Amino acid sequence: MRVGLMADSHDRIPAIAEFVKQMQAAGVSMLIHAGDYVSPFALRPIEEASMSLAGVFGKNDGDQQGLRARATAGFGAELFESPHSFEVAGQRILVVHDIGDVQPRSIESHSIVVHGFTHQQEMKTRGDTLIVNPGESCGWVYGTPRAAILDLDAKTVEFLTLDPAHWTT
């Protein structure tokens, strides 16, 4: 099973929509988001694509009630306080906005950890745990929107990058 990974989308609708489009073309039907959507309308591209969503709130999600209401009413997405642990395709996944908010023992008790907050794309392992930050989907801080696709069966990650010259702001 392949799932999309996003974090720190900060209301940049064109980037969110383009990543969702690329993910769907790659066979992704579920998105894990590590927080900082910011406003409820940031969920619109995910809703319009009928992509399932499991995510946590970040530090800049000011309207959590509105985000939760949009997700629940619009397309049945699930948004949780960070951190949140769940299982998909036999993998125990921890999604957290700021990985500094969780204890090492909690990280190591999961097969996959998805986080955001730093806005920097990275992948590393700690023991048998794969730790992924898909990068900033917005591109506001480092200038290039980034996301990822995770193959849950192989535990491999394909990083996605949008060329700012080829999409609209």
For residue 90, what pLDDT is reported?
93
For residue 43, what pLDDT is reported?
95
Give SS3 for 24.
helix
Q: Domain 2-164, what fold? A: Purple Acid Phosphatase; chain A, domain 2 (3.60.21)
For residue 167, what pLDDT is reported?
57
Q: What is the 3-state secondary structure (H, E, C) of 80-148?
A: ECCCEEEEECCEEEEEECCHHHCCHHHHHCCCEEEECCCCCCEEEEECCEEEEECCCCCCCCCCCCEEE
Task: Report the alpha-carbon distance of residue 110 to residue 155 in Å, rounded.
Answer: 13
Average pLDDT over residues 45-56: 94
- 83-134 pLDDT, tens digit per residue, is 999 999 999 999 999 999 999 999 999 999 999 999 999 999 999 999 999 9
Using a 10 angstrom Cβ sphere, with 0-12 exposed, 13-18 middle and 19 or more buried, the burial of residue 149 is buried
Question: pTM for this one?
Answer: 0.95
